[in-house]
Amino acid sequence: MANDTLQTLAQGQICRSMAGLGNYNYAADGRSGVAALAGNLRGGVHFRQIGEFRALGDGRLEGEFEHMFVTEDGSTLRTRDKSWGVAVPGTDYIVGGAAYTVVEGTGEFQDFKGTFRSWGTFAPKEGKAILRYEGQICRPA
């Protein structure tokens, strides 16, 4: 596997660690953008918000996104995501994260399924975010 990926065989599945960092930049619309990725998920990602964020109370927000990850070798991973965020009092920042559910993959991600997560800090006024990815996705052995 590319990208220094460590795979493990568990319960008849081959699993791939999803660990890395995303440096996100939002487009002028504030609903989409791109990110550079480091870690074992090296490459880039395009993302777009689906619908509007919903207020859950206590300053918490929830929304949906789609991501298209593209690694250095051209493999792709498309996800549908549930995102959440909480405003940091006294700042312009939001702490949040997402659960990325795999919809489709090509290349090294062919037949992989599952959900991985991220968490990090968003700066909406600056149109930037830094996120840390973690988890694993699996495919049949």
DSSP 79-108: EEEEEEEEE-TTSS-EEEEEEEEEEEE-GG
Flag whether 9 is in a domain. no
Flag whether 20 is in a domain. yes
> Model confidence at 10, in pLDDT bands (50, 70, 90)?
low
Overall domain count for the chain:
1
**pLDDT tens, position by position, 62-115:** 999 999 999 999 999 999 999 999 999 999 999 999 999 999 999 999 999 999
> Model confidence at 7, in pLDDT bands (50, 70, 90)?
low
Flag whether 4 is in a domain. no
At 58 the pLDDT is 85
Give the residue numbers spanning the domain of 76.
Answer: 14-140
Buried b (16+ CB within 10 A) or exposed e, 4-17: eeeeeeeeebbbbb
Over the chain, what is the mean pLDDT?
Answer: 91
Flag whether 8 is in a domain. no
Span 113-140, mean pLDDT?
96
Flag whether 3 is in a domain. no
d(C-alpha 32, C-alpha 29), whole Å: 7
Flag whether 87 is in a domain. yes
Flag whether 123 is in a domain. yes
Q: pTM of the prediction?
A: 0.89
Flag whether 7 is in a domain. no
> Model confidence at 130, in pLDDT bands (50, 70, 90)?
very high
CATH number of the CATH domain containing 55: 2.40.160
